[in-house]
Amino acid sequence: MTKDKPEMPAKIRPISPADVSITAFNSYKTARITLPETLTIAAAMETPEIWARVQADLGKRLRVGDEVTLISRDGCQFADRCIVVSALGEKVWLGKPLRMVSLQPQAIFSDGHFSVTPAGTDFAICECRSGRVEDVLYRTAEQAKAEIIRRQPVTVAG
């Protein structure tokens, strides 16, 4: 008889050790973790299975009492000083953060009608008046800016 491993939801990727920055102290360590695009702070705190790759790395393995700061990929949200309350095998459970911060992303470019704003690691075009964000994402801010400029009506001097 083989045991099936419980599977994570399809959209949630495990946290990579490359996204973990560790500062060690005498009895505990602090970890700053940048989450993958598809992972929210709430999901990171509620899904202990996503820590498997971090726990497999001896230099970055989390222990009970360690402090963790979770940062969204776009840097607009973070959960500061979550204490590891349990770390068993590949799973980690975090306590409530000392504070949660959510920042509004700043527009990179605006023509008064549309603006370019960060959307994860990509960029989106947002209507200034309504605040509606378009579904199409651009890999660079320059591509999104070029699309806004392309949409502007051409005026002919008479």
pLDDT in tens, 124-156: 888 888 878 888 888 888 999 999 999 888 777
What topology is assigned to 17-102 in CATH? Ribosomal Protein L25; Chain P (2.40.240)
Phi/psi for 62 (5° steps) reads: -90, 145
Q: Can you tell me which residue has the tokens 């989106």?
A: 124
DSSP state of 26: S
Token pair recorded at residue 119: 């959307």
Predicted confidence at residue 6, as pLDDT, reads 47
Token output for 74: 């776009």
On the question of pLDDT at 68 being above 60, the answer is yes
Average pLDDT of the residues of the chain: 84
State the average pLDDT over residues 79-89.
93
Count of Cβ atoms closer than 10 Å to residue 31 Cβ = 21
Q: Taking residues 65-91, what's their average pLDDT?
A: 89
Q: Do residues 55 and 15 lie in contact, with contact meaning Cβ atoms separated by under 8 Å? A: no
pLDDT at 87 over 90: yes
| Res 1 pLDDT > 60 | no
Residue ranges of the chain assigned to CATH 2.40.240: 17-102
